[in-house]
Amino acid sequence: MPITIAIDGYSSTGKSTMARQLARELNYRYIDTGAMYRGVTLWAIRQGLFEKKLDVAGLIESLSELRLNFKYDRDQGQSVLFLNDEMVENEIRSSKVADRVSEVATISEVRRFLVEQQQAMAKDGAVVMDGRDIGSVVLPDADLKIFMTADPEIRAQRRFEELQSKGMPETLSAVRQNLKMRDEMDTSRADSPLVQVEDAKVLDNSEINPQEQLKLALSWVREIEGH
Ligand code: DC
């Protein structure tokens, strides 16, 4: 029987690598909820809502005009985000979005707007979803919950290399600072902060490679399937 897998954790701990690996291995759908918060942030920037400080009321009001979808892209071999029918997968990874997304993610109306869509996407199971509040809020009944963590310096280095390889160079210290700021905002916000729920399996991948982490996660999946 297909199960539902929730993956939460700090930024740049390899949640999406893990989620993609599992989805491919199990033939499940992968839903990247961080991409959806990034999509709302890009929308807010484009609407000019970040001129001085974020116009929260304006953003909430404009949500009804915003449509987010994932579609499979042959060239990239994965599903990518569309904002009102425009492919924005690359733009949502830029630092102009990364620097502002945590603030957007504190807005309860934005969270409600996205959580509702995320729950609808997962209702038939066979899904791997990653984010910050998946095991706690979006899918509290998920069959397997994984909480990912890693040493902050290793995370910064990985993120730095990832941005370089995508042709979006940033200094290591800027990456470090952005991660620190996001950790603080993600864990301290009032609505749906990042928490390690009691029934989550903790995966610290500071010292293990993607193959080893996949093996470990698959052993947890098999355990659940065996019950
Ligand atoms: O996973 P990511 O780095 O793409 O997420 C971008 C931001 O969105 C991150 O700073 C926290 C926020 N986020 C959230 O609040 N809840 C989620 N379920 C996913 C992401």
4-213 belongs to which homologous superfamily? P-loop containing nucleotide triphosphate hydrolases (3.40.50.300)
Distance 10 CA to ligand 1 centre (A): 9
**Contact (Cβ atoms closer than 8 angstroms) between residue 47 and residue 62:** yes
Mean pLDDT value of segment 106-119: 98
72 CB neighbour count, 10 Å cutoff: 10
Q: Which two tokens stand for residue 220?
A: 């947890």
Substitution site in 91, 101, 137, 138 for ligand 1 pocket (most atoms within 8 Å of beta carbon): 101
Is the alpha carbon torsion for 88, 93, 95, 97 positive or negative? positive
DSSP assignment, residue 136?
Answer: I
pLDDT at 227: 66
pLDDT tens for 120-173 read: 999 999 999 999 999 999 999 999 999 999 999 999 999 999 889 988 788 999
Average pLDDT, the chain: 94
Nearest CA to ligand 1 atom 3: 11
pLDDT tens for 3-56 read: 999 999 998 999 999 999 999 999 999 999 999 999 999 999 999 999 889 999
Taking CA atoms, 221 is separated from 14, 25, 148, 166, in Å, by 18, 11, 16, 32
pLDDT tens for 173-218 read: 999 998 998 899 899 999 999 999 999 999 999 999 999 999 999 9
Is the alpha carbon torsion for 80, 143, 21, 110 positive or negative? positive
Ligand 1 atom with least separation from CA of 11: 3
SS3 (DSSP) at 112 = helix
Nearest CA to ligand 1 atom 18: 131
pLDDT at 24: 93
Is the alpha carbon torsion for 9, 14, 17, 22 positive or negative? negative
Which pTM value belongs to this model? 0.93
